[in-house]
Amino acid sequence: MSTFQRILMATDLDEPSEAAAHTAASLARSLRAELAFVHIFAPPATIYSAYPDFTSLLPVEEVQTAAARALEAWLTRIEAPSQAKRLLHPGEPAQTILEVAESFSANLIVVGTHGRRGVSRALLGSTAEKLVRLSPVPVLTVREQPTPQ
């Protein structure tokens, strides 16, 4: 029996995530594991909640609907397995991915990485790095595939 029976693939819908998605799907197929794709979206800022005119501009439902459409379009483009679960959650990416992994009972998290170093990594942060440091289950990071010149 495989150690990895429930694989969670976290995506921000960018190119490095595509390579990670293909890796996750291939692993799930070969291990006969359950696969779920999760996208974490940023909820509208609530700093203006004292001003109703601002908060009505971007209701959470509209942001969630847009995120759901973007996730489905991305999954269609990468030809994700139809039986894979699709999960969508608001929040801070690393922490929310860990919460989703726990609720999904994932025993492997797969995530794409840009492979940034130095100042760009410090300025942009690294969800993959946070996952590797904080996850109680193994995290497989997949680097973006170089484009042929």
Residue-wise DSSP of 31-89 = HT-EEEEEEEEPPPP-TTTT-HHHHTTS-HHHHHHHHHHHHHHHHHHTT--TTSEEEEE
Instruction: Please check whether residue 110 is in contact with residue 142, taking contact to mean a CB–CB distance below 8 angstroms.
Output: yes
Write out the residue range of the structural domain in which residue 79 sits.
43-83
pLDDT of the chain, 149 residues: tens digit per residue: 468 999 999 999 988 799 999 999 999 999 999 999 999 998 776 555 555 555 555 677 888 999 999 999 999 999 999 999 999 999 999 999 999 999 999 999 999 987 655 544 443 458 999 999 999 999 999 987 655 55
Task: Flag whether 94 is in a domain.
Answer: no
Task: Flag whether 77 is in a domain.
Answer: yes
Q: Global pTM?
A: 0.83
Task: Flag whether 60 is in a domain.
Answer: yes
Q: How far apart are CA 129 and CA 76, in angstroms?
A: 27
Task: Flag whether 119 is in a domain.
Answer: no
Total tally of structural domains belonging to the chain: 1
- The residues with which 7 forms a beta bridge, in sequence order, are 35, 108
